[in-house]
Amino acid sequence: MEAYSDILKSKISDPSFDYRKESMLRFLKSPVRDYKESPTVKDYVEVTDIELVKMATGNYSTGKTDKSNSAADITVSGNQFTRRNGNSAHFEMDHLSNVLSRSPQIRNKVESFFGNEREEHLINSSWQDGLFIKTQQDMSLSISIESTINAAESGSQKDFVWVGRNTKLILSDIRTSEGSGNGVQGRNIYFYLEEGATLDYHYLQDKADGVFDITYIRTFGEKNSLGTIYHINHGSGKVLFQNESNQMGDQSDYKVFGVSFSSGKQKIDIRDSSFQVGKNTNADIHVRGVVTGESSTIHRGNIDIELESTKSTGFYDSRIVLLSKLGYANSKPALMIKNNDTRSKHGSAISSIDKEELTYIRSRGISEKDAKSMISAGFVGSMIERANNAKFTEMVDKFAHELIIDEI
């Protein structure tokens, strides 16, 4: 670990030097998880030192995928960004590195936000590049992003999205890979919502089996802001995904509807949490998972309501359907409530498919595999249908019907 400072010198000699340095110090000071924390910690998705070095010192090249026919507003190939026409007049978009170099005001805002996770600190120190998007105020717009990274490459990116006062942004973000390989790919995406801003973020990760995907999503909401996150994790052999609100402003609202599919020998670690500081805030988190093969899925989530966050509410709900004898599922919700003028609760359930429901569907002449796929699609589809995103609804249905379901 002591060698990291020397390894990363070439990456931190830029206008963000102080921020990168502070992030590196936070990483070095963050303790490695103690396995005595819980008897189930051994089943979490862990990141080795070798994998951390690959991520922190890696560099993405321009991918080979031809995206000329893509309908997305922004296409990303490695670290090469292409912006289409359309609603481009309503938002600023550039490489994050360029923006931080030319605008001290924006740099101060971007660098005022840190995470609290060990790997997240390392990404904040070592990111190669990323997207910066800033919308105008008092408007409504949609932006779509399609990103492809070579599966054999390792590296880290940081994106920052700034939603203007009283603006509603619908952001669709599809992350895939090309080729095969064992890259360790890290990404932080931070959303800053000004007062009265609304964000609908639609996230889909479907990378190659050999990839280790590490993603941190963090939303910082001012007064009367609303952030809604819809996330789908389907690909990558190992997934460490954390999504957390930072509800700084009073009357800020945060909703999450997440879906995960694990198959083969995949290991997926999904963490959705709220951190509520403002008064009269609300967090409502719902996650669903489907487990097949010898894969594992863990849902972990905290509702954290701070002392000053009075008259606030928080709810966390996790449900996983286990479709394989060799699969593993676990759900670990937690409440951290620091004042007595709030309402909060959590729930979790892990089960197999109801046999009566399966028998009923099969009585209509449907095969057992198709019946299980239909039930699985309905189980997770209700989460994503709320996004009113036809592409995401189609993909969830496709993923559910491609499941290889074992007897259980």
* pLDDT tens-digit readout, 96-147: 999 999 999 999 999 999 999 999 999 999 999 999 999 999 999 999 999 9
Give me the mean pLDDT over the 45-49 stretch. 90
**Lowest-confidence region among 190-204, 206-220, 314-328:** 314-328
Q: Which amino acid is at 392?
A: F
Judged against a pLDDT cut of 80, whether residue 369 lies above it is answered with no
Cβ contacts of residue 380 below 8 Å, gap of 6+?
259, 261, 288, 289, 290, 396, 400
Question: Residue 364 has what pLDDT?
Answer: 75
Percent helix, strand, coil in the chain (nearest 5)? 25, 40, 35
State the DSSP code for 209.
T
Closest CA to 331 of 301, 299, 302, 303: 299
Question: Residue 406 has what pLDDT?
Answer: 55
Q: Which amino acid is at 131?
A: L
Closest CA to 295 of 405, 184, 165: 405
Closest CA to 259 of 66, 87, 389, 69: 389
Cβ contacts of residue 36 below 8 Å, gap of 6+?
none
Q: What pTM does this model have? A: 0.92
Q: Are strands 253-262 and 226-233 parallel, antiparallel or unpaired?
A: parallel
Closest CA to 199 of 245, 239, 233: 245
The strand pairing partners of 80, in sequence order, are 77
CA 247, CA 99: separation in Å to the nearest integer?
A: 26
Give me the mean pLDDT over the 313-333 stretch. 92
Confidence of residue 63 (pLDDT cuts 50, 70, 90): low
Question: Residue 84 has what pLDDT?
Answer: 75
Judged against a pLDDT cut of 50, whether residue 167 lies above it is answered with yes
| Percent of the chain at pLDDT exceeding 90 | 64
Question: Residue 46 has what pLDDT?
Answer: 87
Give me the mean pLDDT over the 294-320 stretch. 94
| Three-state secondary structure call for residue 250 | coil
First-to-last alpha carbon distance for the chain, in angstroms, is 44
Question: Residue 408 has what pLDDT?
Answer: 47
Task: Tell me the domain boundaries of the chain.
Answer: 4-249
Confidence of residue 64 (pLDDT cuts 50, 70, 90): low
Question: Residue 32 has what pLDDT?
Answer: 78
**Lowest-confidence region among 88-92, 178-182, 254-258:** 88-92
Give me the mean pLDDT over the 70-84 stretch. 86
Q: Which amino acid is at 271?
A: R
Question: Residue 41 has what pLDDT?
Answer: 60
Confidence of residue 385 (pLDDT cuts 50, 70, 90): confident
